[in-house]
Amino acid sequence: MSLDQNDIAKLARLARINIAETETAELSERIGDILNMVDAMQAVDTANVVAMANPHDAIQRLRADEVTESNHREKFQQIAPQTADGLYLVPQVIE
């Protein structure tokens, strides 16, 4: 896919960047190469490819999900300005 100077000017305006007219030819070629690469990647048949989470088939060791600290809610809420039913009450800021 090739881009002309009008396409480059439109992209520059949308991206809010300043591109000198002397750079548009090179930029057009570079963006065209990227778009050709994307087209080539989209042409690959991936229907029978299984998705993977890790390219090395590594398995991450996870620790057991255990509670390691005691509950200090009542201690912390003693110094709070206002609480109700175990929740902190705050002033309403949005009407």
Tell me the two tokens of residue 26: 């090179």
Q: Is 83 helix (H, G, I), strand (E, B) or coil?
A: strand
- Concatenating the DSSP letter of every residue in 7-53 gives HHHHHHHHHT----GGGHHHHHHHHHHHHHHHHHHHTS--TTPPP-S
Is residue 12 in some structural domain? yes
Q: What pLDDT is attached to residue 75?
A: 94
Q: What pLDDT is attached to residue 59?
A: 77
Q: Model pTM?
A: 0.49
Residue 32's domain spans which residues? 5-42
Q: What pLDDT is attached to residue 1?
A: 67
Are 80 and 72 in contact, with CB atoms under 8 Å apart? no
Is residue 26 in some structural domain? yes
Cα-based angle 26, 28, 32 (whole degrees, multiple of 5): 120
Q: What pLDDT is attached to residue 33?
A: 93
What does the pLDDT profile of the chain (95 residues) look like in tens digits?
678 888 888 989 999 999 988 888 889 899 989 999 999 999 999 999 888 877 787 777 888 889 999 999 999 999 999 999 999 999 999 88
Is residue 24 in some structural domain? yes
Q: How many structural domains is the chain composed of?
A: 1
Looking at residue 6, its amino acid is N
Q: What pLDDT is attached to residue 87?
A: 94
Residues comprising the chain, all counted: 95
